[in-house]
Structure 1
């Protein structure tokens, strides 16, 4: 079967480790190739409807970073082994690798948003048998990836069962705290609205939503402001604060909140 992509490369099980698989596909949305790191749990061979939990990375990172700097696959495996959550595929795609970070929307003639919400899901379903018939997709992320999760989850509510973000940027202008590229470079084609505006526009179709932030995080003020605006506009959500900064020890510790949230809202039968 040809499938949806001109070229596909999938890692060989003989050389894979710790349940991680790597998938590279060529897509017009990126005008080139995109990478996806996957944790695929061991399940019965006849299972083809595992949920897909997408985790978006932050600036400077790529498809490998949630697993190999954050141990996301190990956290997921521990929770699945303990039956705290049901089996699911953890999908960790690249953001498209533009500059220090693409911010997960379309600019510079590349559709970084469609790469995530269409290509990543399609590539997994077509190449990972355990997800072939998946109908339960959730999206989460950290920092810039939190911005991506909140904005994409709200823009494409029909695609996702739940949204979760850690230490999220809430406005595009906050990218300037981290990246080398001027904000005007992101806005050459169209001005991109902030997270609250996107959520407000789609408030009646919004999937279940949660986000959290460390009390000493550089973005704590912005997350608190988003929480207040959502409350004032009657938009149902969960917001939590924990001790911590804008760093991996925080995200490693609280990823389990995202996985638990996704599990609750992923309705499927094994």
Structure 2
């Protein structure tokens, strides 16, 4: 077991319908945090949506910069989607962003998400079990993480959605000054999205992406889509007005909720 300890917030003193957990992870050899939303939802084996943040952020940004709780409530009121638990982890706190990668020298930020965060959700929330389906999404660096982890571990995730995604490590240059060699992994193909998509092409879960026309990552997204089309990787790609901003993500994460609900309704 990679979780050494859990510290769970007291619902009496936590903002309504939320929970905060600190996980001491052996994958990282330190403590990091996860925020949950919709913890009042009732049911058995409720599905979870893992939402990965971008550079500079932490577990709280989806709620406190992006108003994801309001976005979720809006979709639920308008479209009657079923209950999901929103799971919003720290990226692990490396540099200005970990990339959610299993770095060679700094820690396994991949296993932090796919092992610790999911297991802690099962241990913490009575509505979440081993039978709960897991969906993954993210923005910017988190979009890259969602695409890569979803493609690398297709049996763990029921669908993937990504917003304004970094599509290769080189895209980090738009946001951070860290030398990209610091993200070196044991496997030279580790950071390559298309490598994992092609490797697991027959098992990939449903996948969607979107990006704003004014986003600095728009051209990078188009290049990835061209490669995915050439490799015949099944996906949906949408383009909207807007840039690399929380205003954009607050609106379009609502499409993620509807997309995941459509898939969940098939079960």
What is the TM-score of this pair, normalised by structure 2? Answer: 0.94
8 Å contact kept, 2:47–2:134: yes
Give me the whole-angstrom Cα distance separating, in 2, the residues matched to 1:104 and 1:125: 21
3-state SS, counterpart of residue 130 of structure 1: coil
8 Å contact kept, 1:136–1:267: no
Shift of 1:80: 2.5
8 Å contact kept, 2:102–2:109: yes
Runs of 4+, deviation exceeding 4 Å:
none
Partner of 1:248: 246
3-state SS, counterpart of residue 14 of structure 1: helix
Task: Output aligned runs, 1:104-119, within 5 Å.
Answer: 104-107=100-103, 108-119=105-116
1:65-112 CA-to-partner distances (Å, cap 9, x unmatched) read 011100112211232344531101000000000000000011124110
8 Å contact kept, 1:52–1:134: no
8 Å contact kept, 2:3–2:25: yes
3-state SS, counterpart of residue 99 of structure 2: coil
List runs of 5+ in structure 1 lacking aligned partners.
none
2:50 alignment partner, one of 49, 54, 67:
54
For residues 128 and 21 of structure 1, do their structure 2 counterparts lie closer, same or farther at Cα, with a shift above 3 Å needed?
Answer: same
Partner of 1:22: 20
1:74 alignment partner, one of 62, 70, 74:
70
How well do the aligned residues superpose, as a CA RMSD in angstroms? 1.7
8 Å contact kept, 2:47–2:85: yes
Partner of 1:87: 83
2:142 counterpart of 1:148: no
3-state SS, counterpart of residue 7 of structure 1: strand
2:129 counterpart of 1:132: yes
Give me the whole-angstrom Cα distance separating, in 2, the residues matched to 1:234 and 1:4: 37
Give me the whole-angstrom Cα distance separating, in 1, the residues matched to 2:95 and 2:200: 29
Give me the whole-angstrom Cα distance separating, in 2, the residues matched to 1:96 and 1:43: 27
8 Å contact kept, 1:48–1:133: no
Moved more, 149-158 or 6-15: 6-15
What is the TM-score of this pair, normalised by structure 1? Answer: 0.93
8 Å contact kept, 2:2–2:27: no
